[in-house]
């Protein structure tokens, strides 16, 4: 999609989108004013939230589609409602094969112009996402056009044009990278192997000016990452340790945020094998990796004043004569021994080494890990909210602010010491499963065992939020790219608060 700001109505647009409220006469564009008065008098259209009215008008001898989009009551409008309705409009427009659109900017007395504008643009761009490269009928179709969208500014809004243009440039990048995260996850596991993922990160690094260092099996072995290697052993596709470094704040070289992403390019469960239905979507088990890779690329592209290091321990969890087995005791880079009770609880093993590595070798001063870690997170919070575990309330509080601002929701789970007992093994230091109860908490605490006490750390379990079974709001069926807008916002606010 190409979005631009426009001072007057683009002559060629074939579709005009007008936002209207249930409880006021506001109309987001002058075009269609008269028709709207007639519609209001003579139709059932009440402009409740999500309601749409389709009609057409003749302008300069051309037939134009006119869509009235209900926003509900003015006081009840939120940025997330704007994002959702904007995506809905775009999905509708795609369905109708329309490609040139004029949209009037929404006005609201209790929301800031910048926030309204951002939410609209995000909704349009996120809603336009399509993953159809393997669908010849769509990919090659004449109807699969690039959407040209003009946001029409009123006279008074024109004074803000520069501000809005800068916001537009940034959002295009950030949402663009969220869509790259979606692409990485949506690629099937036979294509997106650890090596392919590593190559792609190399490419992103070159394009956006951050350093990428890929380590193969022998180097991973030299580092002593025994837990990571135990998981990777069952696959002929060898593991890759992907390290990304972006230094945009030279004055504070010792202040480095570490980002770790779970990078299972496929999770069959191993010998603790998953049922087929759960296995089909397990190409998505590198959603955490896709998120942090995309965030680092976005931050580097926007040249934010901050230092970031990212680590992904990429591998596949498969079955072969080399695979690790339930009952095995394995080592780890930290020197701790782990009793493997279930080979399907593999993510925490790869993350244990990745987190230990980023703190002890890369010397980061704070860590966020992002992982599709537990089915229990879906049971607890559904597909709406990401589960969080932390050892630092202040750090969590700052990230929560970004969650509220971006509507990428997170919620903290308790991590009282008592839960820790569940992951202590009788015959090794730790066991990789803490029983059925509090599964998301014990999984998070397992990773926490490899974090130094004085390093602020947040664990985000995105098992429920990184994937959507159906097209909904600003998501399409498949990967959601969750976490990219959240972490970008956090990093940006952090970089400017120093």
Place of tokens 């427009």: 93
Residue 81 CB, shortest distance to ligand BES, in Å, is: 28
Could you tell me which of 167, 18, 25 has the C-alpha nearest to residue 105?
18
Residue 273 CB, shortest distance to Zn ion, in Å, is: 10
As a whole number of angstroms, the distance between CA 369 and CA 139 comes to: 35
Residues 456-495 that bind ligand BES (CB under 6 A): 463
Asked if residue 473 binds Zn ion (CB under 5 A), the reply is no
Identify the three-state secondary structure at position 20: strand
User: Exposure pattern of 249-271 as b/e (b: 16+ CB <10 Å)?
Assistant: beeeeeebbbbbbbbbbbbbbbb
Residues 255-284 that bind ligand BES (CB under 6 A): 267
Q: Mark the segment that binds Zn ion (CB under 5 A) among 146-154, 253-261, 266-274, 483-491.
A: 266-274
Could you tell me which of 105, 82, 111 has the C-alpha nearest to residue 154?
105
Among ligand BES, Zn ion, none, partner that 433 touches (CB below 5 to 8 angstroms by kind): ligand BES
Which pair of tokens denotes residue 117? 């504008």
As a whole number of angstroms, the distance between CA 465 and CA 351 comes to: 19
Q: Which of 128, 226, 285, 408 binds ligand BES (CB under 6 A)?
A: 285
Q: Which residue is nearest to ligand BES (CB)?
A: 375
Which pair of tokens denotes residue 368? 């966020």
322 is catalytic: no
Residues 414-453 that bind ligand BES (CB under 6 A): 433, 439
Asked if residue 267 binds Zn ion (CB under 5 A), the reply is yes
Interface map 337-376 toward ligand BES (x if CB under 6 A):
-----x-xxxx------------------------xxxxx
Residues 230, 347 contacting (CB under 8 angstroms): no
Asked if residue 347 binds Zn ion (CB under 5 A), the reply is yes
Beta carbon nearer to ligand BES, 119 or 380: 380
Identify the three-state secondary structure at position 146: coil
Residue 324 CB, shortest distance to Zn ion, in Å, is: 12
Beta carbon nearer to Zn ion, 346 or 461: 346
348 is catalytic: yes
Asked if residue 369 binds Zn ion (CB under 5 A), the reply is no
Reported in sequence order, the residue ranges of 29-78 that DSSP labels E, i.e. its strands, are 52-59, 62-70
Cα distance from N-terminal residue to C-terminal residue, the chain: 35
As a whole number of angstroms, the distance between CA 259 and CA 358 comes to: 8
Asked if residue 291 binds ligand BES (CB under 6 A), the reply is no
Residues making contact with ligand BES (CB under 6 A): 267, 285, 342, 344-347, 372-376, 433, 439, 463
Catalytic residues: 274, 348
């Amino acid at each position: 999609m190409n979005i631009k700001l426009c001072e007057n109505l683009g002559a060629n647009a074939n579709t005009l989108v007008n936002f209207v409220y249930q409880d006021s006469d506001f109309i987001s564009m002058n075009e269609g004013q008269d028709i709207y008065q007639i519609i209001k008098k003579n139709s059932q259209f009440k402009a409740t939230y999500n309601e749409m009215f389709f009609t057409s008008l003749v302008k300069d001898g051309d037939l134009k589609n006119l869509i009235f989009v209900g926003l509900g009551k003015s006081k009840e409008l939120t940025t997330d409602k704007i994002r959702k309705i904007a995506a809905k409009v775009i999905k509708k427009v795609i369905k109708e094969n329309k490609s040139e659109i004029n949209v009037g900017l929404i006005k609201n007395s209790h929301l800031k112009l910048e926030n309204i504008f951002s939410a609209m643009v995000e909704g349009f761009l996120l809603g336009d996402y399509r993953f159809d490269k393997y669908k010849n009928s769509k990919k090659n179709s004449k109807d699969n056009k690039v959407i040209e969208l003009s946001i029409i500014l009123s006279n008074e809004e024109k004074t803000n044009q520069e501000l809005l243009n800068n916001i537009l440039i940034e959002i295009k990048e950030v949402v663009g990278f969220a869509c790259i995260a979606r692409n990485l996850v949506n690629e099937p596991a036979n294509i997106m192997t650890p090596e392919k993922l590593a190559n792609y990160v190399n490419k992103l690094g070159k394009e956006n000016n951050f350093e990428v260092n890929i380590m193969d099996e022998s180097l991973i072995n030299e580092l002593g990452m025994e837990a990571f290697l135990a998981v990777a052993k069952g696959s002929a596709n060898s593991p890759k340790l992907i390290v990304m470094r972006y230094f945009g704040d030279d004055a504070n070289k010792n202040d480095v945020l570490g980002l770790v992403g779970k990078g299972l390019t496929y999770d069959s469960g191993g010998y603790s094998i998953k049922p087929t239905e759960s296995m089909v979507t397990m190409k998505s088990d590198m959603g955490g990796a896709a998120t942090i890779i995309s965030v680092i690329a976005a931050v580097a592209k926007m040249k934010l004043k901050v230092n970031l290091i990212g680590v992904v321990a990429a591998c596949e969890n498969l079955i072969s004569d080399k695979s690790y087995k339930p009952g095995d005791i394995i080592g780890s880079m930290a020197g701790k021994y782990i009793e493997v009770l279930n080979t399907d609880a593999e993510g925490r093993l790869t993350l244990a080494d990745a987190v230990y590595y980023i703190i002890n070798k890369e010397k980061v001063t704070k860590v966020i890990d992002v992982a599709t870690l537990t089915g229990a997170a879906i049971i607890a919070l559904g597909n709406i909210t990401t589960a969080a575990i932390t050892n630092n309330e202040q750090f969590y509080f700052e990230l929560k602010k970004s969650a509220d601002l971006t509507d990428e929701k997170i919620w903290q789970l308790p991590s009282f010491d008592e839960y820790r007992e569940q992951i202590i093994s009788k015959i090794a230091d730790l066991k990789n499963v803490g029983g059925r109860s509090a599964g998301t908490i014990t999984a998070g605490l397992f990773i926490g065992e490899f974090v130094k006490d004085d390093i602020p750390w947040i664990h985000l379990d995105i098992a429920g939020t990184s994937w959507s079974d159906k097209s909904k709001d600003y998501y399409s069926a498949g990967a959601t790219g969750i976490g990219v807008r959240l972490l970008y916002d956090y990093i940006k606010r952090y970089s400017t608060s120093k």
